[in-house]
Amino acid sequence: MMSAILRRAKETLLTEIEGIKNLLDRLDSEFEKAVDLLFSCQGKVILTGMGKSGLIGQKIASTLTSTGTPSIFLHPADSYHGDLGLITSKDVVIAIALSGETEEVIKMLGHIQAMDIPLIGMTGHPESTLARNATVHLSVAVEKEACPLGLAPTTSTTATLALGDALAMCLLEKRNFREEDFAVFHPGGSLGKKLLVTVGDLMISGSRLPLVEEMTPMRETIHQLSEKLLGIVVVVDQSGSLTGVFTVGDLMRLVEKQIDFLNSPIKNFMSRNPRSTDADTLAAKTLHTMQIHAITCLVVIKEKKPIGILQIYDILRAGIY
């Protein structure tokens, strides 16, 4: 006689298997449009979602990145506190929300539409706000969750993850991604990658580094933000040592407060004592630090002087996660 534990385990697996099988009947031209949008993307693919949908989004982003499609996960709650600066006009966004009404995700729609960025919505409700505003809608609806209470996302998250894998594999094939290409992202395996790649290998430096002195007027600082398109400006003193940073999020908050700041020096508004790293630090270690402290960008310094900027999506694009 089967125990209650084994019975529940088998019912869970069978329910989730059925959820994935049901996706087969919903694969149509919309899925093909999604693949074409991602294939033609000139920038990066940005995954977003709250809670468990967000965790699934992070995994899909990692799979896409390691198979030739540079991707990053952007937390929707962070997005409207400055991190929207990570999204550029060349990107494609994949938003995951089973209900299609998740408040934090819906708040991003205006910015995405204003920039005319393609949006792929993955929801369980085709009439939801997210589905109706998406360039392409991919249904991840399931008949029932594996949770016996019908509460915990189980079948739905499994189906979403499987559909994300389907997108990644179609793109892999469409790009003629080969074993040699995979090896570029995984030299000696993922462990070898983590042990070899340093911050200096991935950082943005030289003329692309947005540097301003403390007494630089805000008007010129904003020009640097706009010109360098990194969402951050690094502030130094007269000796060239790092003293602070100023981000797109900081600018948005100043605008909201309606402060007259354009002719004031950046010194008055910068964030002091920003977190930093050095070029010899392993990228994998730096990624862990960024995840722990919810940071998307770090200043790279040498003898207290900034020499580069490392963004989290550059680490992920390198296949380190």
Domain ranges of the chain: 4-185, 195-317
Distance CA 75, CA 291 (A): 11
Residue type, 230: L
> Around 146, how many Cα atoms within 13 Å sit in the side-chain half-sphere?
20
- State both tokens at 239: 């000796």
Q: What is the pLDDT of residue 185?
A: 58
Q: What is the pLDDT of residue 320?
A: 74
**3-state DSSP call for residue 238?**
coil
What's the fold here for domain 195-317? CBS-domain (3.10.580)
Q: Which segments of the chain have a pLDDT < 70?
A: 80-82, 178-195
- State both tokens at 170: 């179609």
Distance CA 62, CA 71 (A): 7
Contact criterion met (CB below 8 Å) for 193 and 184 = no
Q: What is the pLDDT of residue 311?
A: 85
- State both tokens at 11: 């019912």
Contact criterion met (CB below 8 Å) for 274 and 261 = no
Q: Residue 297: beta bridge partners?
A: 311
Q: What is the pLDDT of residue 35?
A: 96
Q: Could you tell me the CA-to-CA distances from 117 to 48, 64, 126 in Å, in that order?
A: 14, 19, 20
Contacting residues for 22 by C-beta, under 8 A, at least 6 apart: 142, 143, 159
Q: What is the pLDDT of residue 221?
A: 84
Contact criterion met (CB below 8 Å) for 238 and 251 = no
Distance CA 315, CA 288 (A): 11
Please name the helix (run of DSSP H) or strand (run of DSSP E) that holds residue 205, with its range, or none: strand 204-205
Q: What is the pLDDT of residue 296?
A: 83
pLDDT tens across 67-107, in order? Answer: 888 899 999 887 766 677 788 889 999 999 999 999 999 99
DSSP secondary-structure letter at 40? T
Distance CA 113, CA 83 (A): 16
Q: What is the pLDDT of residue 254?
A: 82
CATH number of 4-185: 3.40.50.10490
Q: What is the pLDDT of residue 102?
A: 93
**Alpha helices, DSSP H, located in 229-311:** 248-257, 283-292
Distance CA 224, CA 210 (A): 6
**Alpha helices, DSSP H, located in 218-296:** 218-228, 248-257, 283-292
Q: Could you tell me the CA-to-CA distances from 211 to 13, 134, 221, 243 in Å, in that order?
A: 54, 37, 9, 11
Q: What is the pLDDT of residue 230?
A: 83
